[in-house]
Structure 1
Amino acid sequence: MTDWFWIRHGPTHEKNFVGWRDVPADLSDHALIDRVANFLPPNAVVVSSDLNRSVTTADVLTQGRARLGHEPDLREFNFGDWDGRHWADVAETDPQLSRDYWGKPGDVVAPNGESWNMAAARARPVVDRLGAQHSSIIAVAHFGIILTQVQRALGANAYNCLAHKIDNYSITHLREDNGHWQVKCINHLP
């Protein structure tokens, strides 16, 4: 059995698409960081994507826990040509594609980027490998990757998973036991 505690990285304050661009997280809310760190199991290992906003958030949450290496396959969705652009600009230049990307998530691909299904397939082997090695994992990652794992646990479609809010620093607790997944909580802030 493996308990996964998915944490969304600290806020970036970006107003544009942020996928693989390496932008920093704001880690100034020390009280919230301490509440989250104290809520998490002390015996869990900590892993993060390799993007700065996840790495630095994981570093401040580690607080004496074992820290695993960074996992590039836990990165946010690759928004390709949309990365760094404002939502309104993308909607203007790619109106149907941008509507379909969020309205029909799954196989719809951002230009020179990836789809929901591609990101989920990228993350799955990492989750399976780490889950086979550890019984309690704190994974600091991104909105999209966390939702792909919620989808896996719920057995729901991608569109329904997008209805879930994933706030910065929130905890999404999923449990896997011999291939059977449970959702313990989504978007919990202590």
Structure 2
Amino acid sequence: MVARLWWVRHGPTHQTTFTGWRDVPADLSDAAALDRLDAYLPRDAIVVSSDLVRASATADRISSSRTRLPDTDQLREFDFGAWDGLSHDDVAQRDPVLSRAFWDNPGDVAAPEGESFFDVARRVSAVIERLAAEHPGADLIAVAHMGVILGHIGAAAGIGFRQALTHRIDPLSVTRLDRGETGWSLETVNHIA
């Protein structure tokens, strides 16, 4: 099994709207920040990424000396459905009860035509567990999105989605979970190299 899981959030997108499966690029112009991130991560790690360009390009930037696995749609951000591309205020006006429930009681609440925290956690946990089994003892760097990282730490570390939402996950930050005999433990959240 994978010994350590290093979640990396993709570079900044400068979006001020819900940005789920829309394929917007990351701003990777901060070479110094990317170099620090690259130096902080384990050299012999395996790298996998969401197939969305903002994550994939970030992974490309930090994987030159590491084994790079194919991108996967299983690490995509939440599918925000009808909310994708809308501001938080627009969503609150459009769907006031549903949008409040989405944040106040995360779990099985989803945007219209979108995914819930449970949906994302199941999807992401399945691919992480598969990769962990395929690469026993390895360090795995997974480049993905804020919602994916929060959903996985809520489920895998057993802290729940509401507690997970209290954490910040900044662009180019590292969140690490370690695998022990009893499962995953949350070691580092939102580390900026």
Counterpart of 1:132 in structure 2 is 133
SS of 1:69 mapped into structure 2: coil
Matched, 1:25 2:16: no
Determine what percentage of the aligned residue pairs are the same residue.
48
Moved more, 158-167 or 169-178: 169-178
Residue pairs, 1:165-184, within 5 angstroms = 165-184=168-187
* Aligned mates of 2:169, 2:39 — CA distance in 1: 19
Per-residue CA deviations over 1:116-171 (Å, capped at 9, x if unaligned) read 10111111110001111221111000001111221134311211110000000000
Counterpart of 1:41 in structure 2 is 42
Letter in 2 for 1:81: A
The answer (yes or no) to whether the contact 1:152–1:181 under 8 Å persists in 2 is no
Aligned residues: 190
* Aligned mates of 2:144, 2:127 — CA distance in 1: 12
Report the alpha carbon displacement of residue 179 of structure 1 after superposing the two structures with TM: 5.0
SS of 2:69 mapped into structure 1: strand
Report the alpha carbon displacement of residue 178 of structure 1 after superposing the two structures with TM: 4.3
The answer (yes or no) to whether the contact 1:150–1:161 under 8 Å persists in 2 is yes
The answer (yes or no) to whether the contact 1:19–1:76 under 8 Å persists in 2 is yes
Residue pairs, 1:152-167, within 5 angstroms = 152-167=155-170
SS of 1:70 mapped into structure 2: coil
Q: Which runs of 5+ in 2 are unaligned?
A: none
* Aligned mates of 2:94, 2:154 — CA distance in 1: 30
Per-residue CA deviations over 1:58-97 (Å, capped at 9, x if unaligned) read 0001121010001101100110000011111111010110
Q: Which runs of 5+ in 1 are unaligned?
A: none
* Aligned mates of 1:132, 1:178 — CA distance in 2: 14
* Aligned mates of 2:152, 2:192 — CA distance in 1: 18
* Aligned mates of 2:120, 2:156 — CA distance in 1: 16
Structure 2 length as normaliser, TM-score? Answer: 0.95
* Aligned mates of 2:156, 2:119 — CA distance in 1: 17
Counterpart of 2:89 in structure 1 is 88
Counterpart of 1:60 in structure 2 is 61
* Aligned mates of 1:179, 1:68 — CA distance in 2: 27
Counterpart of 2:154 in structure 1 is 151
| CA RMSD between the two structures | 1.0
* Aligned mates of 2:27, 2:67 — CA distance in 1: 23
Counterpart of 1:11 in structure 2 is 12
Structure 1 ranges of 4+ moved more than 2 A: none
Moved more, 51-60 or 142-151: 142-151
Change (3 A) 1:179 1:51: farther
Counterpart of 1:141 in structure 2 is 144
